[in-house]
Amino acid sequence: MEENKAVRPLNVVDERPAKCINGWVMLFVILGMVILGIAMFAFGIAFGSSDEAYSGFIALSPIGMLAVVAAIILSIGFKLLQPNEAFVLTLFGKYYGTLKTDGFYWTNPFCAAVNPAGAVAGLSQRKLSLKAMTLNNDKQKVNDEDGNPIEISVVVIWRITNTARAVFNVENYMSYISTQCDAAIRQVARQYPYDVSSNGDENSLRGSAQEIAGILREELQQRVDIAGIEIIEARISHLAYAPEIAAAMLQRQQASAIIAARQKIVEGAVSMVQMALNKLSEEKIVELDDERKAQMVSNLLVVLCGNRDAQPVVGTGSIY
């Protein structure tokens, strides 16, 4: 029986600066090569064939041509970077380095810029954007901690901090962060209930937005660290019960609100009745026996706790 082969660890590539020089200096050098090459070519043609004494100068023509061709090849190495842009360069298949600082540079003309994600935010396909970008995935249907189906989506603000990891450690960093965002939502959503419990001593997706946002950001950051991406912020942008249980959950919320309101009304009514009895007793306005107090309490509670305005009936006879 063959033993299982060990999984080959991922060869993580870290960012390093590319070797380059100031583009303006190299521009003057290349222009000088072009001017000198043209002059040598013209001098060789003009004097090399007109007089035997200067026949040796005919060799200047091919040298001038080579100088012009070399200048054209060297001009391919110019790189222009705007703020928050980067070039990830490879030389014959190996990582050469990264240009991140804005400016005009010249580097090895045989280096090739790599960006597997293609065009990003209107930039050339060869450039990477280091700006903060927003990811807004489609709504997902997941189950919360109580097993209730909910619809949830998040908005993630992110940026690339390690260009080498973003290009070489994952196939496509744009699709990678989108997939990991979906996985992180499912992981976090099933750990918490949609709404807070009756005792209110735990976090919930609806009632603990700040705490859930922090947990979601940490979970997502761990997943995308290998791609050299920093998660600046991650927040829930949409949260609702799934359509099949939305109506039932709405009725439950309404019932809970009605019960809480009734409880508050009863507490207030009892305190008002107690205050009325104490005032009557302290001011000695009228002496009531237990039966009359019970009747008064009943009447006041009906008036204070009723859904409609009470219609008073004035009695003119004796209360006894």
pLDDT at 180: 93
| Beta pairing class for 103-106 and 21-22 | antiparallel
Contacts of 205 (CB under 8 A, 6+ apart): 144, 150, 152, 189, 192, 193, 194, 195, 212, 236, 239
In a domain, 44, yes or no: yes
**Domain match, 294 and 207 both:** no
Query: How many structural domains comprise the chain?
Result: 3
CB of 206 within 8 A of CB of 239?
A: yes
**Domain match, 124 and 143 both:** no
**Domain match, 236 and 178 both:** yes
What CA–CA distance (Å, rounded) separates 75 from 299?
A: 98
**Domain match, 188 and 274 both:** no
Structure tokens at 63: 């040298």
**Domain match, 114 and 41 both:** yes
What CA–CA distance (Å, rounded) separates 11 from 112?
A: 21
**Domain match, 123 and 142 both:** no
In a domain, 15, yes or no: no
**Domain match, 71 and 162 both:** no
In a domain, 198, yes or no: yes
Instruction: List own/partner pairs for 196-205 with CB under 8 A and 24 or more apart.
Output: 205/144, 205/150, 205/152, 205/236, 205/239
| Beta pairing class for 21-22 and 78-81 | unpaired
In a domain, 53, yes or no: yes
In a domain, 26, yes or no: yes
In a domain, 16, yes or no: no
Domain boundary among 81, 108, 128: 128
Which residue is listed with tokens 């091919």?
Answer: 62
Domain boundary among 95, 128, 161: 128
Radius of gyration of the chain (CA): 40
**Domain match, 156 and 62 both:** no
CB of 45 within 8 A of CB of 124?
A: no
Which residue is listed with tokens 């040298």?
Answer: 63
CATH number, residue 224? 3.30.479.30
Q: What is the dihedral of CA 256, 260, 262, 264, to 10 degrees?
A: 180
Residue 254's Cα: distance from chain center in Å? 34
Strands annotated E in 21-148: 21-22, 78-81, 85-91, 94-99, 103-106, 111-113, 127-129, 133-136, 140-143
In a domain, 115, yes or no: yes
In a domain, 107, yes or no: yes
Domain boundary among 69, 94, 128: 128
**Domain match, 138 and 234 both:** yes
**Domain match, 90 and 143 both:** no
Structure tokens at 117: 């994600």
Residues of the domain holding 86: 21-128
Burial state string for 263-289 with b = 16 or more CB within 10 A and e = fewer than 16: eeeeeebeeebeeeeeeeeeeeeeeee
pLDDT digits (tens), the chain, 320 positions = 344 444 455 667 788 888 989 989 999 999 998 888 888 877 777 665 555 545 555 566 777 788 888 999 999 999 999 999 999 999 998 999 999 988 999 999 999 998 888 655 445 568 898 999 999 888 888 888 877 888 888 999 999 999 999 999 988 899 999 999 999 998 888 888 887 655 455 678 877 888 888 999 999 999 999 999 999 999 888 888 776 765 666 666 666 666 777 777 777 777 777 777 777 677 666 666 667 767 777 766 666 666 666 566 554 445 55
